[in-house]
Structures are given as structure tokens and as C-alpha cells.
Amino acid sequence: MEYLHLEHDGKLLLVDEHGIGPVIPKPGRDSCEQGWLMRLPYPEEVRSMGIEWSEKRRNSLHWGKESATVIHGVPHIDWPESWAWKDAVIGDSAVHPAARESVYRSIHRLVSKVMIIDEDSNVVMAKVKRGHFVGAWTLPGGYLDYSEHPEDGAIREAMEELGISIELDDVSPIISQNIFSDEGVNFVSFTYLCRVRHDSLSFKPKEDEIAEVAWLNAKEALERAVSWFDRMALESIIP
């Protein structure tokens, strides 16, 4: 089954079970005797509405024993006043799971990291015990907490993972974005710079998270790094 996710300025096109739309969800509806009442349209239904669009990417969604392909498209229209607000879709049980899952996957996952560099251009790397990269070397960092500024997140992660208090350099972060699987979960990373004297830091790694901490030259750090975001950041400091 192929659905079409058309989104513009925070609004999403939904149709009813017969493909007629647009329809609007009711956030907070936790049950619906009639089952789902609205869904993403099929591509042919959008064509019948006379809406032109261009394909951006395709995601494979899975929920329970069900699955579907969702085509993310850019509609060639002005402000879609009568469409549903994207944020309202997840909170209505009458919206088909494919639509709710598609919206969930389109929300950015935010990560904040830091490159701690000494006077000889060595970089602090940590071998992690848990998370996405168990047993691998990464830059200090992790997911942002709710409402947390990326700068605060980088400083917090350095303290939590390595037991060190740092001050970030007054430069803009390296911002990277990528989607790593056909499920379409979107990640955005902010990597900050922190220059220190080598002998100014005394590491106290978090025992259940960090197996080892090391100073590595930039090229060796790049060779060991497995995170795409880490590699993008490290490449920026290699002559």
C-alpha cells in the first residue's frame, strides 16, 4: 500500500475513508467506535484533486503486523488553509496509523556534541558501552532534553559522560542533518568546539556508559569514528 504525505508550512493533507478531503483531526480523541476515520491519501486521489506535487523521498513504515510505503511529497500550492495541522494528527485515535507513524518519523531528533581539542590538535574521544554505537569511539554528546538549548546539551553531556566542566568556544556549531534508514527518522546534530590545555582536564567517565576515554590526533579520531555526524565534524578540522 502506498500513501502520500503532502505537507506544507506545518499542515498535512488528510482524507476520509473514501478519499474525500481535506478532513481535520480532533486531538484528544482517545477512542473511536467507527475505527479510523481519516488517513493519508493515495497518489491517485491527490491527482483527482488537481494538486500537483513532486516526490521528496519514500519511507517504509511498520506498525504491529502492518506495513506501508509513504511517499513524502512537496505540494505545489499556496497556503493550505483547510488542511490539518501536523501537530494535531498524532493525538487523534481516529487517524489511520500510517498517518500518525509518518508524522512521528518526520519530527527531528536533535543531538548535541562537542569536539574538545588541545594545543596539539588532539581530540577527546570516548568508547561507549550503550546506545547506538556500543563498543565504538565517538565524540562526547547525545540527545537533547526537552526544551534544552544545544549549547547547554553539549556542556551537560561532557559532564555526564566524562565528568568534566567545559566552556564552548565562541564560534558557530557544525550543523549536520541526515536520515539513516528507510524508516525515515530524521536526525540533526549540533557539534561545538572547545579548545583546552591538554593538562587542564581530568576525566571521570560515567561507569555504565563510557568504557574508555582517549586523546587522539584528528586523523586517528576520524579513522575510529563510526558516527556520520562525528566524521563530518572531524573532517572540518583536518587540514
- Could you say which architecture CATH assigns to the domain 109-235? Alpha-Beta Complex (3.90)
- Determine the pLDDT at residue 156: 97
- Determine the pLDDT at residue 217: 96
- Determine the pLDDT at residue 29: 87
Q: How many residues does the chain have?
A: 239
Asked if 99 and 83 touch (Cβ cutoff 8 Å), the reply is: no
- Determine the pLDDT at residue 133: 86
- Determine the pLDDT at residue 130: 85
* Domain boundaries along the sequence of the chain: 2-106, 109-235
**Integer Rg of the chain from CA:** 22
The CATH classification number of 2-106 equals 3.90.79
Asked whether the domain spanning 109-235 has the same topology as the one spanning 2-106, the reply is: yes
What phi and psi values does residue 221 have, to the nearest 5 degrees? -60, -40
Over the chain (239 residues), the average pLDDT of each successive run of 10 is 95 96 91 84 96 96 91 95 94 93 93 97 95 91 96 97 96 95 94 96 94 96 96 91
- Determine the pLDDT at residue 95: 95
